[in-house]
Amino acid sequence: MHNKRYPNESKEYRKSRNELLQLEIELRDKIHEVATARKALADGGKLPEDYVFEEKSSDRDGETKTVKFSELFDSGKDCLLIYNFMYPPGGNACPMCTSFLDSFNGNAQYISQRVSLAVVAKATIDEVQKYADTRNWNNLRMLSSTNNTFNVDYFAEDSDGGQHGLINAFTKNENEIFHFWGPETYFVQNRPGNDARHVDQLWPLWNALDLTPEGRGTDWYPSSN
């Protein structure tokens, strides 16, 4: 497939590596195919209401203000990515979401050059912003959905208050907002020994571990300590 060889590699290694390389090529092509099909999606459902969120003022002086969903689109941008952070009122912030947002925060300054970004949790805005400050999430717009049904409407919260970490894309067309994409692999049955992997392409942690002999493991999860 190519003429590159690592120092002292065996014939057995090269044979098995070429077999893996073929799978990696097929995966690369499939990822491109899926991305192309995703871009061709028709408009999804119209936003049922202009949800009102709470957030802290930009200078973090303790002032709480409200912001409408329609106001989350930055000037000149017609796409919004919004992540549902698993953090219930009076509860604990999810370590898995924390790991994801730690990495997402670092890339947010670049992603936001193309699209708008926001993170929403059901916890109060005081809880959300206090936790965000401890993590130095200075590139993420943190919101609270305490007083609206956004989490429930877009399946990030169960009727019993259970939380789910999901990311959704919305588009704006003139004065109307539509849902564009959500991670629906999260809702279908997983294959044995697998998990939903619904945000894995955005998450460096799992992609890095998948390059190692042990892989991501079956029962290890990151700690946010």
Residue 202 has pLDDT above 90, yes or no: no
For residue 193, the model assigns a pLDDT of 61
Which pLDDT band holds residue 189 (cuts at 50, 70, 90)?
low
How would you list the strands of the sheet with 176-181, edge to edge?
64-68, 52-56, 142-144, 116-121, 79-85, 167-173, 176-181
Interatomic CA distance for residues 117 and 106, integer angstroms: 13
For residue 224, the model assigns a pLDDT of 66
Mean pLDDT of 46-64: 88
